[in-house]
Amino acid sequence: MTLRIGVVGTGAIGRDHMRRISKTLSGGEITAVTDVNLESASLAVRELDLNAEIFPDDASLIASDQVDAILVTSWGPAHEGTVLKAIEAGKYVFCEKPLAVTAEGCMKIVNAEMRHGKRLVQVGFMRRYDSGYVQMKKAIDNHEIGEPLMIHCAHRNSEVNAAYTTDMAMTDTLVHEIDVLHWLVNDNYKSVQVVYPKKTRHALEHLKDPQMITLETEGGIVIQVEVFVNCKYGYDIQCEVVGEDGIIKLPEVPGIVYRKDAQLRVNLLTDWKQRFIDAYDKELQDFIDSIRETGEPNGPTSWDGYVAAVTAGACVTAQKTGEREPVRLGVKPEFYKEIGKTKEII
Ligand code: NAI
Ligand code: ISE
């Protein structure tokens, strides 16, 4: 059967995912769409030439018998309510990050899903599908560099708009490192500290930028992440794991090498849409395929959404105190123990 998908939120990533489901991927079709801005929903349907019904709100869309799965791409604070309604109706959910903006909200979703009795939710942590991170994970799991000791990362955006605030560097930006790094090294976070280096003149007055985050895992791995959202030169994601027997590093994004005007040059990317385009395709294809094949999504779980929310919350506290703050996770339920292993799709 084709997975019939209803979309809640037709902004930047909502439209991008609608395009990939309807034009690039297989096994899924967009049958329903809604947005608080109904004009935006209609425009998205027209632009993509879809045969999809426009619904006035998420509740009516979820209730439709034309919908098997809900794609949640609205603003972060709206996610929790829509995901809970979808679980209540027994429908599958692909929810963009954040699963909910608070750890309590994520825990409500975890509990609702466990009460339902089988997995319904996948969270859009697409880096677990990026071929560079997948290769690094394989190398670590195969003990090719011995035990990981330290990780050095950078998450740089060219610039951000005026609505971007200092805490969003944790909840919106660092959250991708928070998710992918504990998955990479099979460890849990223990503590976090945030320091502010000299501020760039390119940041607006209300924003502290750049920021340096130090996470420590229960196993003792020390992770340093630079978040710099007005770096000006492009979109740049760096990750290097230092192990006992060697070092592995995320590959540079491929691009042709120019020899011109007495220069050797490679063009960089400018945004996340291009940088992770393959990973977005793979995460959604995996969502569709795993539901069609096994009746449950296979990717990052509600529990992963909860871990990210707890850790991001500790990071925001650490921003305010300047101290090393504990990351306090609950015990992972059996329900989530043997599932959510990302398939190897390079
Ligand atoms: P956006 O602002 O471009 O679009 C959000 C859309 O949701 C808007 O059209 C808005 O009218 C609609 N909306 C808001 N509340 C709604 C509600 N209650 N019901 C229905 N529609 C509602 O935002 P963008 O950039 O598309 O981000 C959406 C989500 O995706 C955010 O949570 C963001 O963090 C996440 N995101 C994830 C990325 C990734 O790399 N995985 C990249 C970019 C965004
Ligand atoms: C954005 O919301 C994303 O999710 C992107 O993947 C990330 O790189 C960017 O920094 C965020 O603002």
pLDDT digits (tens, 9 = 90+) for 229-252: 999 999 999 999 999 999 999 999
pTM: 0.96
Write out pLDDT tens, residues 259-290.
Answer: 999 999 999 999 999 999 999 999 999 999 99
What are the strands, taking DSSP E only, across 96-184?
121-123, 148-156
**11 touches ligand 1 (CB under 6 Å):** yes
CA of 31 to the centre of ligand 1 (A): 19
pLDDT of the residue at 254: 83
Domain 3-123 has CATH 3.40.50.720: yes
What is the rounded radius of gyration, in angstroms, for the C-alpha atoms of the chain? 20
Confidence band for 53, pLDDT divided at 50, 70 and 90: very high
Residue 55 to residue 65: CA distance in whole angstroms: 13
| Ligand at shortest distance from the CA of 96 | 1
pLDDT of the residue at 1: 87
**Structure-token match 């994520």, residue found:** 106
Provide the CATH topology of domain 131-270+308-326. Dihydrodipicolinate Reductase; domain 2 (3.30.360)
**Structure-token match 């959250």, residue found:** 175
Confidence band for 345, pLDDT divided at 50, 70 and 90: very low
Residue 132 to residue 87: CA distance in whole angstroms: 33
Atom number of ligand 2 nearest to Cα 173: 10
CA of 202 to the centre of ligand 1 (A): 26
Residues sharing a CB contact under 8 Å with residue 246, sequence separation 6 or more, in sequence order: 144, 145, 146
Q: In the chain, what are the domain boundaries?
A: 3-123, 131-270+308-326
Burial of 76 from C-beta contacts in 10 A (0-12 / 13-18 / 19+): middle
User: For a pocket test of ligand 2, which of 99, 157, 211 has the largest count of ligand atoms closer than 8 A to its C-beta?
Assistant: 157
